[in-house]
């Protein structure tokens, strides 16, 4: 095991101090690792039109431009989120007498328009009886389109904007992306709706910082009150190391006034944007090799703000097996997976990190598989005592991959049975994350009578009939019927014994005899058609039963 202290695992957020009124604490909602990074920017939806530094009018659509310099070219989108919210009229108890605007509209750089419905909304009682503050978010990965760079907008939002000192409305876009040339990194997303008013609060993020620390913080904050006096700051301190604490600042964010209505993630940067701050800072200077926590302290001074989103990115010096690893299957016997046939599974473990990864790989086979055998493995030693496949000490070097091949025989399952297979690996000894890869659904076909027609499509699945002949078009193949040429299905009706009297009737004036009801000919006709009626009724009875 490497002696280096590995980067990250953002496992939790511990609240050290808490306000006395309703809040939604910031919590870890999602994280990504690999050659990934994140970009967040935002836009006000309310403006000060009478120059008193208060929001008095919603102006929509709210437009934000993402410049080409904001992120590398030719990135692959991993995830996208939209955040939006602001003040809402309160009639009743906190967060009960109000509600969020849960649906907005966005437009993309390609001109496409999408309606977005919130996945979740957070409320803050805001320490006020006349209004609450709501923040909503939605996963817009499927609606984000092909390009990040360009003009985005948000519209169809409604909220309380009436020139009040705390009136606010804004939105933020978050994109997580990947590219092969990026350094290995873990991106952690914390969100909530946490109000600060004339106080400070500290959040502690659990981390494991490497010998070469590198990190950044981006936040989305809704801002209410006009900036007042007091000790307003954002402080980052890696613990227990000696590098911090570090108070964040840049050219438009003074060290004593970071909540100053700025967005530094646009090009050019924006100042004087009422009711919102979206700012990104390098926090590397606060980190020391060996740190196990990062403490983030927010002080609002005499201002009033709502912390909505923290995005923390820290470069990894760990193996990363979760980004490009996969599992695939092929049929050994035919073009499809067959009941009783053999399939081949290939497990591909790829390390996109910068540290060797040593894991134990396991693969359990369900009852849908009759047997399996390990064909080959580039690394690892098989534990033959395990119930399924278990390979110990599978070593994957940085930038390399290993392949494990397994053949499995599918049991004699019904046609159309859906099976799958998943391989898992443990957390690497050197650091990083455990993970899994799956084949996805495999539809198994069965041809029980070997006539070339799968059972669920075969009109006689237990008797070979490649021609699928069905003379009476009843859905049952001729091969499964006793008398298919009679025009009605033979349902196996019992033989009928009818008397055969010999009487006949003379039709006057014709000189011919016609069969009477007691004649042998009539009896034969009755026998013939009577059986047909019995069989037809039997068929209808059978169909009703089915």
Burial code of 327-355, b = ≥16 C-beta within 10 A, e = fewer?
A: bebebeeeeebbbebbbebbbbbbbbbbb
- Indicate the DSSP class of residue 230: S
| pLDDT > 90 fraction of the chain, expressed in percent and rounded | 62
Q: Beta strand pairing status for 185-197 and 304-315?
A: antiparallel
Quote the tokens at residue 330: 């092929």
- Residue 175 pLDDT level (bands cut at 50, 70, 90): very high
Query: What's the rounded Cα separation, in Å, for the pair 423 and 380?
Result: 14
Q: In 3-state terms, the chain is what percent helix, strand and coil (to 5)?
A: 10, 40, 50
- Indicate the DSSP class of residue 390: E
Average pLDDT rounded to a whole number, residues 474-488: 73
Spatial CA neighbour of 135 closest among 81, 175, 177: 81
Tell me the whole-structure pTM to 2 decimals.
0.71
- pLDDT of res. 315: 81
For residue 162, pLDDT beyond 90: yes
- pLDDT of res. 496: 47
- Residue 1 pLDDT level (bands cut at 50, 70, 90): very low
CA distances from 480 to 49, 429, 454, 529 (A): 84, 62, 16, 22
Spatial CA neighbour of 152 closest among 257, 72, 81: 81
Residues 6+ apart with CB under 8 A from 140: 80, 81, 82, 106, 114, 116
Average pLDDT rounded to a whole number, residues 490-497: 46
For residue 62, pLDDT beyond 60: yes
The 401-410 sheet, strands edge to edge: 326-331, 342-350, 401-410, 369-377
* Ramachandran angles phi, psi of 158, nearest 5°: -130, 135
For residue 91, pLDDT beyond 70: yes
Q: Torsion-angle region of residue 148: left (phi > 0), alpha (psi -120 to 50) or beta? A: alpha
- Residue 13 pLDDT level (bands cut at 50, 70, 90): very low
HEC per residue, 112-129: CEEEEECCEEEEECCCCC
Q: Which domains does the chain have, with CATH numbers?
A: 13-315 (no CATH), 326-445 (2.60.40.10), 491-545 (no CATH)
Average pLDDT rounded to a whole number, residues 333-360: 94
Spatial CA neighbour of 438 closest among 501, 346, 502: 346
Q: Provide DSSP, 306-340.
A: EEEEEEEEEE--S---TTT-EEEEEESSSSSEETT
- pLDDT of res. 375: 98
Query: What's the rounded Cα separation, in Å, for the pair 27 and 13?
Result: 6
Q: Which of 283-287, 308-312, 375-379, 535-539 is least confident?
A: 535-539
- Residue 199 pLDDT level (bands cut at 50, 70, 90): confident
Q: Which of 348-352, 364-368, 463-467, 498-502 is least confident?
A: 498-502
pLDDT tens digits for 69-85? Answer: 999 999 999 999 999 99
Higher pLDDT, residue 514 or 450: 450
Q: Beta strand pairing status for 337-338 and 442-445?
A: parallel
Higher pLDDT, residue 402 or 545: 402
- pLDDT of res. 208: 66
Higher pLDDT, residue 519 or 193: 193
Residues 6+ apart with CB under 8 A from 197: 19, 127, 225, 300, 303, 304, 305
- pLDDT of res. 34: 85
Mean pLDDT (the chain) is 85
Average pLDDT rounded to a whole number, residues 115-129: 92
pLDDT tens digits for 211-267? Answer: 688 899 999 999 876 655 567 999 999 899 999 899 999 999 999 999 999 999 999
- pLDDT of res. 202: 86
Q: How many residues are present in the chain? A: 546
Quote the tokens at residue 355: 């540290």
* Ramachandran angles phi, psi of 463, nearest 5°: -125, 130
Looking up tokens 């014994």 gives 497
């Amino acid at each position: 095991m490497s002696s280096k202290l590995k980067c990250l695992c953002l496992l939790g957020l511990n609240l050290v101090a808490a306000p006395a009124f309703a809040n939604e604490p910031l919590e870890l909602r999602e994280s990504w690792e690999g050659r990934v990074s994140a970009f967040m920017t935002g836009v006000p939806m309310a403006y000060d039109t009478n120059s008193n530094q208060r929001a008095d009018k919603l102006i929509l659509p709210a437009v934000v431009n993402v410049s080409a310099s904001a992120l590398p070219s030719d990135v692959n989108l991993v995830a996208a989120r939209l955040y939006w919210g602001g003040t809402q009229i309160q009639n009743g108890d906190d967060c009960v007498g109000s509600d969020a605007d849960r649906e907005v509209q966005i437009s993309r750089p390609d001109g496409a328009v999408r309606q977005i419905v919130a996945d979740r909304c957070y409320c803050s009682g805001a320490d006020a009886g006349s209004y609450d503050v709501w923040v909503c978010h939605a996963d817009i990965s499927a609606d984000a389109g092909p390009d990040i760079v360009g003009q985005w907008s948000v519209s169809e939002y409604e909220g309380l904007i009436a020139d009040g000192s705390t009136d606010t409305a804004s939105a933020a876009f978050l994109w997580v992306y990947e590219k092969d040339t990026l350094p290995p990194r873990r991106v952690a997303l914390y969100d909530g709706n946490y109000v600060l008013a004339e106080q400070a609060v500290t959040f502690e993020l659990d981390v494991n910082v490497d010998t070469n620390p590198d990190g950044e913080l981006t936040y989305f904050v809704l801002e209410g009150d006009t900036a007042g006096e007091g000790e307003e700051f954002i402080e980052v301190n890696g613990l227990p190391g000696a590098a911090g604490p570090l108070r964040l600042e840049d050219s438009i964010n003074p060290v004593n006034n970071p909540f100053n209505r700025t967005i530094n993630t646009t090009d050019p940067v924006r100042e004087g944007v009422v009711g919102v701050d979206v700012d990104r800072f390098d926090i590397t200077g606060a980190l020391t090799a060996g740190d196990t926590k990062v403490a983030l302290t927010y002080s609002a001074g005499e201002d009033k703000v709502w912390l909505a989103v923290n995005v923390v990115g820290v470069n990894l010096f760990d193996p990363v097996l979760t980004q490009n690893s996969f599992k695939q299957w092929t049929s050994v016997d035919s073009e499809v997976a067959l009941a009783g046939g053999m399939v081949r599974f290939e497990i591909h473990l790829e390390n996109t990190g910068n540290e060797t990864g040593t894991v134990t790989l396991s693969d359990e086979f369900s009852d849908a598989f009759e047997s399996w055998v390990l064909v080959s493995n580039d690394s690892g030693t098989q534990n033959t005592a395990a119930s399924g496949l278990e390979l110990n000490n599978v070593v994957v070097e940085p930038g390399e991959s290993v392949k494990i091949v397994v053949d499995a025989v599918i049991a004699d399952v019904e046609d159309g049975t859906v099976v799958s297979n998943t391989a898992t690996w443990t957390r690497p000894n050197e650091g990083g994350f455990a993970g899994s890869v799956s084949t996805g659904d495999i539809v198994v076909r069965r041809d029980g009578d070997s006539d070339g027609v799968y059972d669920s499509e075969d009109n006689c699945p237990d008797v070979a009939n490649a021609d699928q002949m069905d003379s009476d078009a009843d859905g049952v193949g001729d091969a499964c019927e006793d008398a298919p040429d009679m025009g009605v299905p033979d349902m196996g009706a019992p033989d009928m014994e009818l008397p055969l009297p010999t009487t006949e009737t003379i039709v006057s004036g014709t000189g011919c005899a016609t069969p009477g009801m007691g004649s042998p000919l009539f009896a034969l006709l009755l026998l013939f058609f009577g059986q047909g009626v019995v069989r037809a009724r039997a068929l209808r009875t059978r169909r009703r039963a089915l």
